[in-house]
Amino acid sequence: MRMLRLAATDDAPAMSAPGRPLSEVFHALGSFFEAAAADLERREAELRRSEAFLAQAQRLTKTGSLWWKPSTGEITWSDENYRLMDYPVGVRPTVGLALARCHPDDLPMVQEKLTAAIFDRTMVDFEHRLLMPNGAVKHVRVVFQNVAPEHADPEFLGAATDITERKHAEEKLRRSEAYLAEAQRLSLTGSFGWRVGDDTHVWSDETFRIFGYDRSAVATLESMLRGVHPQDLAMVQHLIARVEAGGDADHEFRLLMVDGSVKHVHIVAHGVRARHGRVEVIGALQDVTQQRRSDEALGQLRSELAHVARVTSLGMLTASIAHEVNQPLAGIITNASTCLRMLASEPPNVNGAREKVLRVIRDVNRASEVISRLRALFSRKPPTTERLDLNEATRDVVRLCRGELQRGNTLVRLELGGDLPPVLGDRVQLQQVIINLLRNAADAMSGIDDRPREILITTARDEGNRVCLSVRDSGVGFGPDGAEKLFDAFHTTKDDGMGVGLSISRSIIDSHRGRLWAVRNDGPGVTFSFSIPCESKESTRAVHRLADC
């Protein structure tokens, strides 16, 4: 019967061919069976290779496969599933073995999921924990899908994946995020990100708290600007334009809260242009309100102490002058009175009067020497000459004045020449000039609210082997005839000014064989500049002669 069935196939040789010898028929049958055996061996080899690839893939992905028929209790596990459940390969798998590995806290949930899968014949996808014999805990994800026909008993094909490493990574990430959030809360520092092209913003919880917004609110550029103090809005918009172009921002401004209170915040942001051409900004925002209040209180205390020190110094100077000058003045009065009496006598005592006048002259000269000696005592020391980098000295001044400038919402931009030669002079005196120009520029913009309060400081080579420093502001400026009057002693445009700062600054620059001047800008504001010689043998000798004087 088997031979007859084989003969009926297309591949089998014909069993009865007219006139064909029986030996040829059996030879053909032998060749057919040999080819069939070789094909079967090849297919079995391919199947083994496929199973090996599948087993290797399951091992690499830590995913075991399984088949389960609840009506008969039949279960099939792959080798990786045995490894996942920590059972020896070959042990007959059962639902009881699987449930025995479930963590006690997760067991009711697993049983509920399996029951629902059987009765609802739906796919299930859930995660739970395994408690291994050595006490270790594994996290697994289990997926079941019913593959039986609609009216047949359900059969489930599924997979179980070891996700322990992923869970540990997620837990580590959650801990890191919790530590970061706590650190931001303690330091009053929030972080943010901004994709400029589509106005996508990402704020940390602390950033929402600083602005006083609910965490569920949508962060936008408009909502950020809505919280800015109106007087600082133009300056903040200027900062935003800078970072939109891929620049940096490092400044302080104020927030006006809904209850009318004011917060001082310090923002640091950096814009980068990504591959797609869009600018992405990342930054941090710190609430420095308490620090600013402390600085203001400290500044007020310093001002009061400075006033006390000035009054005390003035009192000491007055007492010294009174003490030293009192004796020669008393002598002058006595001798002058005696002289008058001698001249009024009959006859006048001319020789005695002449002697008293000479004593008056002596006492006057003595009083003059006393005053000169006191002036020398309270005057500054001769200038200390040194070789200095004007760019470095300028940066030191900006760092020194940064807090004061930021409290006045003033931006400072530096454009310092890269090939600037050194100069020779008194570092303290030159820095005092720069400080005076910087503070004057900030004061000139104190009442400006319709444009950014920005100061530009530049350094560059000047004609005649000299170096030039300029301070440009956007303040109120001065009239056409006001340039030279600015440098007159006791001339001031400030309500509380003394009018000596620019006069002293010009004297310092003159002593360095330089020139200090001011010009009105094409737009708003003024530019003050000074030019001094670079270091040379001639300038060294000149400054040394000045110090000797």
Q: Tens digits of per-residue pLDDT, 359-415?
A: 778 777 767 765 665 554 455 445 567 889 999 999 988 887 777 788 788 889 999
Residue 168: band (very low, low, confident or very high) from pLDDT cuts 50, 70, 90: confident
pLDDT over 60 at 464, yes or no: yes
448, 475 contact by CB (below 8 A): yes
* Partner residues linked to 467 by β-bridges: 461, 532
Q: How far apart are CA 253 and CA 234, in angstroms?
A: 11
Distance of CA 256 to CAs 120, 211, 213, 265, 441, Å?
A: 58, 9, 12, 11, 27
Residue 330: what pLDDT? 67
* Partner residues linked to 266 by β-bridges: 252, 286
pLDDT over 90 at 63, yes or no: no
In 103-232, where does DSSP find H-type helix?
107-120, 164-187, 205-211, 221-226
For 114-128, 417-431, 475-489, which range has the lowest pLDDT when averaged over its residues? 475-489
pLDDT over 90 at 292, yes or no: no
Residue 51: band (very low, low, confident or very high) from pLDDT cuts 50, 70, 90: low
Q: Which residues contact 270 (CB under 8 A, 6 or more apart)?
A: 243, 248, 249, 281, 282, 283
Question: Percent of the chain, pLDDT > 90?
Answer: 17
pLDDT over 50 at 125, yes or no: yes
Distance of CA 21 to CAs 18, 30, 31, 34, Å?
A: 9, 15, 16, 21
Edge-to-edge strand order for the sheet containing 124-131? 74-77, 63-69, 156-162, 137-146, 124-131
Q: How far apart are CA 443 and CA 495, in angstroms?
A: 11
Residue 7: what pLDDT? 42
Q: How far apart are CA 84 and CA 16, in angstroms?
A: 59
Residue 235: what pLDDT? 87
Pairing of strands 466-472, 454-462: antiparallel
- Nearest CA to 110 out of 119, 101, 156, 157 is that of 101
Residue 8: what pLDDT? 43
Residue 100: band (very low, low, confident or very high) from pLDDT cuts 50, 70, 90: very high
Instruction: Kindly state the average pLDDT of the residues 310-325.
Output: 55
Question: Percent of the chain, pLDDT > 70?
Answer: 78
C-alpha atoms less than 13 angstroms from C-alpha of 468 in its C-beta half-sphere: 17
SS (H, E, C) 67-122: EEECCCCEEEECHHHHHHHCCCCCCCCCHHHHHHCECCCCHHHHHHHHHHHHHHCC
End-to-end CA distance of the chain: 135
For 46-55, 80-89, 209-218, 365-374, which range has the lowest pLDDT when averaged over its residues? 365-374
Instruction: Kindly state the average pLDDT of the residues 46-57.
Output: 68
Q: How far apart are CA 268 and CA 189, in angstroms?
A: 11
Residue 179: band (very low, low, confident or very high) from pLDDT cuts 50, 70, 90: confident
pLDDT over 80 at 137, yes or no: yes
Edge-to-edge strand order for the sheet containing 262-273? 200-203, 189-195, 279-287, 262-273, 248-256
245, 238 contact by CB (below 8 A): no
What domains does the chain contain, in order, with CATH numbers?
A: 2-56 (no CATH), 62-162 (3.30.450.20), 189-287 (3.30.450.20), 302-378 (1.10.287), 386-548 (3.30.565.10)
Element (H, E) at 283: strand 279-287
Q: How far apart are CA 285 and CA 267, in angstroms?
A: 5
Residue 14: what pLDDT? 52
Kindly state the tokens that stand for 12: 């089998």
Residue 492: band (very low, low, confident or very high) from pLDDT cuts 50, 70, 90: low
Residue 415: what pLDDT? 93
Distance of CA 546 to CAs 380, 389, 510, 532, 543, Å?
A: 14, 20, 11, 15, 5
Cβ neighbour number for residue 246 with a 10 Å cutoff: 14
Long-range interactions of 1-4: CB distance < 8 A, separation 24+: none
Residue 297: band (very low, low, confident or very high) from pLDDT cuts 50, 70, 90: confident
Residue 1: what pLDDT? 34
Longest dimension (CA), the chain: 193
498 vs 433, more confident: 433
Q: How far apart are CA 46 and CA 70, in angstroms?
A: 32
pLDDT over 80 at 508, yes or no: yes
Most confident of 41-55, 74-88, 168-182: 74-88
Bond before 133 cis per omega within 30 degrees: no
Instruction: Kindly state the average pLDDT of the residues 180-190.
Output: 82
Residue 15: band (very low, low, confident or very high) from pLDDT cuts 50, 70, 90: low
pLDDT over 90 at 471, yes or no: yes
Residue 377: what pLDDT? 46
Instruction: Kindly state the average pLDDT of the residues 34-53.
Output: 72
471 vs 61, more confident: 471
Instruction: Kindly state the average pLDDT of the residues 223-251.
Output: 86
pLDDT tens column, 329-362: 767 787 788 888 888 888 888 788 888 788 778 7
Average model confidence (pLDDT) for the chain?
A: 79
Kindly state the tokens that stand for 221: 């550029």
Residues belonging to the chain: 549
411 vs 488, more confident: 411
- Nearest CA to 71 out of 3, 158, 187, 151 is that of 151
